[in-house]
Amino acid sequence: MVQLTRRNFLIATGWVAGGVTVLYTLRNRAVAVAPTIIIPNKESGAAWVQIRSDGSCLMYFTRVEMGQNANTGLAQIVAEELNIELEDIEAVQPSTSDIAPIAVTAGSMSLTAFSRPTAMAAATLRESMRALAAVKLGEPLSMILDDAGGFQTADKRKVSYADLVDKDSVMVEFDDTKPSPALYTFDPQRSKKQVGRDATPIGIRGLVTGAAVYTADVPMQGVLYGRAIKPPVRSARIASLDTSGVAETSGFVELVRQGEFVGVVCKTPSALDAAMSKINVTWDLKIPINQDEIDRLIDVDAEMADGDLEHVLQDEAHRKDADWLIDLRFDVQTQSHAAQEPRAAIARFGDGSGAHKLEIWTGSQDPWGMKRFAAMDTGLSEDDVVVYAKRLGGGFGGREHYEVERDAVILARAVKRPVKVQWTRKDEFTASRCRPASAHRLRIATDDAGNLSDWWYGYITGHVVFSRERLPGWLLPVARLAGDMGVVKGALAPYSAPHQRVEYKDVDLPIDLGVWRSLNGAPAIFAIESAMDELAVQQGMDPVDFKIAQMKGKQPRLQVCLERVREMSGRRSLPHGSGYGRGFACGIFDDRSFVAVSADIHVDEIAQEIKVLHMCCVQDVGMAVNPDQLRAQAEGNMAWSVGMALLERFEVADDEIKSSNYDNYAIVRMSDMPSVDVEVVDQPSIPPAGAGEVALVAGPPAIANAIRNATGFRALRLPIAFADISS
Amino acid sequence: MKLKINGVERQVAADWQNENLLTVLREHFGLTGSRFSCGIGQCGACLVHVDGIPMTSCLIPVSEVVDKDVLTIEGLAAEDGTLHPLQQAWVDERVPQCGYCQSGQIMQALALLQNTPQPDDADIDRAMSGNLCRCGTYTRIRKSIKKAALVMKEAG
């Protein structure tokens, strides 16, 4: 029954116009409240790869593209399995009607979750083609050998994929009762042609010629321009609203009020700006918005003085009264995504003649989620809604929610014309679901030999995944009881101590919170790596030697990263003179991604600034499908590390979000950027793990430790300002 | 109201004459390679050349560029599709991640090389620090500018 549906589905959407397609059947359905969570496996998935009757290969991108270039890595896998070149693959970003639902693009999971199913799909296709080749050549299957773009026999009789595919549609169904075909990608003995090489990202030409199409670039006949007001927090209610003069604006089309939603549609962007500027609104807030309130809520010391924190991650022979050598509190600031593209969506309601009643163009990390939410929001059936996933101008965890899409849908419905909504930069900051501020208390004691004996780490952070803005109210208590997986990232140190306790509490803060690159990983590891560095320095030990010793041989991959980054950084000597320092840090993200970073810094007394001169990064995320793109992600993470350590500070005061644009929320510029060397540890026999956010966990503490090395100043609060050091 | 965009004379329709240059390029003429990001001239995503001078098009009323020459990213490659050396270097060094800022980065780099054909690191810092890239592709941008400078020098 399911298979029949899927076949019809495929044929209806034009997948199978002659050709051989791999078909996985789909049995799971995502629940309505959470982001789309279907990860393909043997049982669930979709038809993504097809060899067409001309022998060419069509591949649907299963990931939303936002700069991580995961699809290029997946295309390399397809090319490897099919013995073709990357250029032979036509890659298409599917709409939500083209293929079955696929999980939200988030958490650096793309290659981890998709590499094997993608390889299996392509390998199944290859072996099906081999069977056709055996018939065609009149040889037993075992005599059909691989060849570029097809097969050959030992006596060099060749047959190409094009020779094997006729106009009839053939569906190859994956059957998990049969043995899996050989996966070339995951064979560590095999010398590979596509996997493991520095492939140029698919579609790069469009990015340097301006031809690439982001949401706001989609050409749309008769489009109008709309926008809605954004409250400082989503729980705010309108206290007063004055829209006088809005309708008199030249170019005005419509004012829409629907509960707390107030939006305007105009004929041109400048008319829209003028009309929006005439709206005066005040908000009722449940909690005052200011930094003191945030600081009070995350006061880890007050809470630990009162007793245990709410959640305990680790508790082994804990001793409260150990002789603490390190007893430090670290504070990490709120940060915003500040992606370069202000989010945008276009909505168009059909006249009933087309296949869909509502079309949405958007750069969302979760296109299928957008489809589901739009259907719920409008009362349409899901089959009536289609979402065209566009490239994102940066995601970083901030593009999973049905928001700008909702703005466009409400306004387009009201005016019965297509409406394009692009948030202003101020909207982006005001409605930011920030990485929460957090406070970390770390206590460490050692035994007579100087090894760790006691470890006590407690922290308080705002919610990450289970923030009140991300889940419906009824689900929150249940979800939070289970623990917020975003909040615990990075909390367990790679070091061994016989007595240890790790505890935490996650709290609501007066601002909206959400997923931000590395989640709690970077804040927690900043605290851990700073504390370990301080302990080593105070004991007169080399911090790298000390950390490796305290891993007790239990973290071989992390140890290799740390050893190699020390060697790498040693190839360049620090300039002579005062104020120069070098620091190291390491960390693990999601148990499977390992990184170590060094930072060379200069605390410049004359220029009154802290300058990061050079960073080295060694990263081991298992198999390196596209080493160049692993390096690119690590380089980006080094920029984010400088920003987190020295620059970024999300400001709130007087019940308002004060950060509003790049002139008052500093992100890293060219002149702030250190030179960066990245080394990738390739592990051909270990499936690829996430690479998008791992290096960010080690960068900030490496910078802080370098400042300690240069000046003796231990940074306890991020971002670090020059004035902090001199005071 | 006329202006010349990438060598072609264009007429701005009455409805669009009160807009800024970025809006007219994108919404009226469909040249969407220049992009909106900050709206206050602080990030460079909308950067174009007006009579050879790099300018953030989000801040310029279109009425101020009447009869002027506007060069956008779409006008940079040769007519046969051959990429400008800067664009080619951007591809060779695989600069873009999300890519949203890269049109502006390339246009700013073009202005830099027109004034300073062989820039050093300090020149690049000075010229490029108004062009933000949230993905953090700066090290590759720097490398690409130097590479393009060499290619352009050799080509004379």
Predicted local distance difference test score (pLDDT) of residue A61 = 84
- A213 and chain B: CB distance < 8 Å anywhere? yes
| Pairs of residues, one from chain A and one from chain B, whose beta carbons lie less than 8 Å apart | 173
Predicted local distance difference test score (pLDDT) of residue A387 = 96
| Percent of all residues in chain A with a pLDDT value above 70, rounded to a whole number | 89
For chain A, how far is it from start to end, CA to CA, in angstroms?
72
Q: Do B83 and A640 touch (CB under 8 A)?
A: no
How confident is the model over A674-724, as pLDDT tens digits? 999 999 999 999 999 999 999 999 999 999 999 999 999 999 999 999 999
Instruction: Count Cβ atoms within 10 A of the Cβ of residue A138 and give its class: 0-12 exposed, 13-18 middle, 19 or more buried.
Output: exposed
CATH 3.10.20.30 in chain B is located at: 2-75
- Our CA-based measurement puts residue A478 at a distance from the nearest CA of chain B, in whole angstroms, of 36
- Our CA-based measurement puts residue A203 at a distance from the nearest CA of chain B, in whole angstroms, of 10
Residue with tokens 């590979």: A192
- A693 and chain B: CB distance < 8 Å anywhere? no
- B132 and chain A: CB distance < 8 Å anywhere? yes
Q: Which distant-in-sequence residues (6+ apart) come within 8 Å of A593 by Cβ?
A: A108, A619, A620, A621, A689, A690, A691, A694
A-chain residue closest to B105, CA distance: A208
- Our CA-based measurement puts residue A627 at a distance from the nearest CA of chain B, in whole angstroms, of 12
The sign of the CA dihedral A445, A447, A448, A450 is: negative
Separation between Cα atoms, residue A62 and residue A102, nearest integer Å: 7
pLDDT, mean over chain A: 89
Residues paired with residue A314 on neighbouring β-strands, in sequence order: A502
Predicted confidence (pLDDT) at residue A154 exceeds the cutoff of 50: yes
- Name the pLDDT band for A287 (thresholds 50, 70, 90): confident
- Note whether A469 and A433 are within 8 A (CB): yes
Report cis status (omega within 30 of 0) of the bond before A719: yes
Q: Do B91 and A200 touch (CB under 8 A)?
A: yes
Predicted confidence (pLDDT) at residue A583 exceeds the cutoff of 90: yes
- Note whether A407 and A413 are within 8 A (CB): no
Predicted confidence (pLDDT) at residue A648 exceeds the cutoff of 80: yes
Separation between Cα atoms, residue A294 and residue A527, nearest integer Å: 19
B-chain residue closest to A336, CA distance: B134
Q: Do B35 and A216 touch (CB under 8 A)?
A: yes
- Our CA-based measurement puts residue A442 at a distance from the nearest CA of chain B, in whole angstroms, of 31
Of B31, B40, B45, nearest to A340 by CB-CB distance is B45
B-chain residue closest to A674, CA distance: B139
Predicted confidence (pLDDT) at residue A484 exceeds the cutoff of 90: no
pLDDT: which is higher, A486 or A628: A628
| Percent of all residues in chain A with a pLDDT value above 90, rounded to a whole number | 74
B-chain residue closest to A343, CA distance: B37
CATH 1.10.150.120 in chain B is located at: 85-154
Residues of B in contact with A209 (CB under 8 A): 33, 73-74, 76-77, 83, 87
A2-195 matches A218-286+343-422 in fold: yes
| Percent of all residues in chain B with a pLDDT value above 90, rounded to a whole number | 99
- Name the pLDDT band for A44 (thresholds 50, 70, 90): very low
Closest CA to A696 of A650, A639, A646: A639
Pairing of strands A652-653, A261-266: unpaired
Predicted confidence (pLDDT) at residue A21 exceeds the cutoff of 70: no
Residues of A in contact with B43 (CB under 8 A): 340, 662
Interface test with A, best of B24, B27, B34, B138 (most A CBs within 10 A): B138
pLDDT, mean over chain B: 97
Predicted confidence (pLDDT) at residue A22 exceeds the cutoff of 60: no
Q: Which letter does DSSP use for residue A672 in this model?
A: G
Mean pLDDT along residues A567-578: 95
Separation between Cα atoms, residue A424 and residue B129, nearest integer Å: 22
CATH among 1.10.150.120, 1.10.760.10, 3.40.50.150, 3.40.50.720 for B85-154? 1.10.150.120
Predicted local distance difference test score (pLDDT) of residue A171 = 61
Q: Which letter does DSSP use for residue A97 in this model?
A: T
Q: Do A268 and B31 touch (CB under 8 A)?
A: no
Mean pLDDT along residues A362-387: 93
Instruction: Count Cβ atoms within 10 A of the Cβ of residue A24 and give its class: 0-12 exposed, 13-18 middle, 19 or more buried.
Output: buried
Per-residue tokens: A598:
């060094």
Residues 99-128 on B with a CB inside 8 Å of A are 99-103, 106, 124-126, 128
Predicted confidence (pLDDT) at residue A415 exceeds the cutoff of 80: yes
Instruction: Count Cβ atoms within 10 A of the Cβ of residue A403 and give its class: 0-12 exposed, 13-18 middle, 19 or more buried.
Output: buried
In angstroms, how far apart are the furthest CA atoms of chain B? Answer: 47
pLDDT: which is higher, A669 or A4: A669
Mean pLDDT along residues A335-356: 93
Residue with tokens 């009881």: A481
Residues of A in contact with B15 (CB under 8 A): 267-268
How confident is the model over A190-242, as pLDDT tens digits? 999 999 999 999 999 999 999 999 999 999 999 999 999 999 999 999 999 99
Q: Which letter does DSSP use for residue B24 in this model?
A: I
pLDDT: which is higher, A319 or A27: A319
H helical segments located in A175-290: 204-209, 269-277
- Our CA-based measurement puts residue B92 at a distance from the nearest CA of chain A, in whole angstroms, of 8
Per-residue tokens: A419:
């409406």
- Name the pLDDT band for A97 (thresholds 50, 70, 90): confident
Predicted confidence (pLDDT) at residue A19 exceeds the cutoff of 60: no
- Our CA-based measurement puts residue A426 at a distance from the nearest CA of chain B, in whole angstroms, of 8
Predicted local distance difference test score (pLDDT) of residue A102 = 75
Residues of B in contact with A663 (CB under 8 A): 40, 42
B-chain residue closest to A212, CA distance: B33
Predicted local distance difference test score (pLDDT) of residue A168 = 60
- Our CA-based measurement puts residue B156 at a distance from the nearest CA of chain A, in whole angstroms, of 23
- Tell whether ipTM is more than 0.95: yes
Mean pLDDT along residues B9-27: 97
Predicted confidence (pLDDT) at residue A62 exceeds the cutoff of 70: yes
Instruction: Count Cβ atoms within 10 A of the Cβ of residue A287 and give its class: 0-12 exposed, 13-18 middle, 19 or more buried.
Output: middle
A-chain residue closest to B126, CA distance: A671
Residues of A in contact with B33 (CB under 8 A): 209-211
Q: How far is CA B142 from CA A289, A670, B72, B104, in A?
A: 41, 8, 21, 14
| Residues constituting chain A | 727
Predicted confidence (pLDDT) at residue A255 exceeds the cutoff of 60: yes
Predicted local distance difference test score (pLDDT) of residue A16 = 39
Mean pLDDT along residues A291-310: 96
Per CATH, is B2-75 categorized as 1.10.3720.10?
no
Predicted local distance difference test score (pLDDT) of residue A38 = 42
Predicted confidence (pLDDT) at residue B144 exceeds the cutoff of 90: yes
Fold classification of A2-195 is Aldehyde Oxidoreductase; domain 4 (3.30.365)
CATH class of A298-336+433-726: alpha beta
Separation between Cα atoms, residue A130 and residue A621, nearest integer Å: 33
Residue with tokens 């693009």: A105
Residues of A in contact with B26 (CB under 8 A): 216-217
CATH among 2.40.50.180, 3.40.1380.20, 3.30.360.10, 3.30.365.10 for A218-286+343-422? 3.30.365.10
Predicted confidence (pLDDT) at residue A727 exceeds the cutoff of 80: no
Domain ranges of chain A: 2-195, 218-286+343-422, 298-336+433-726
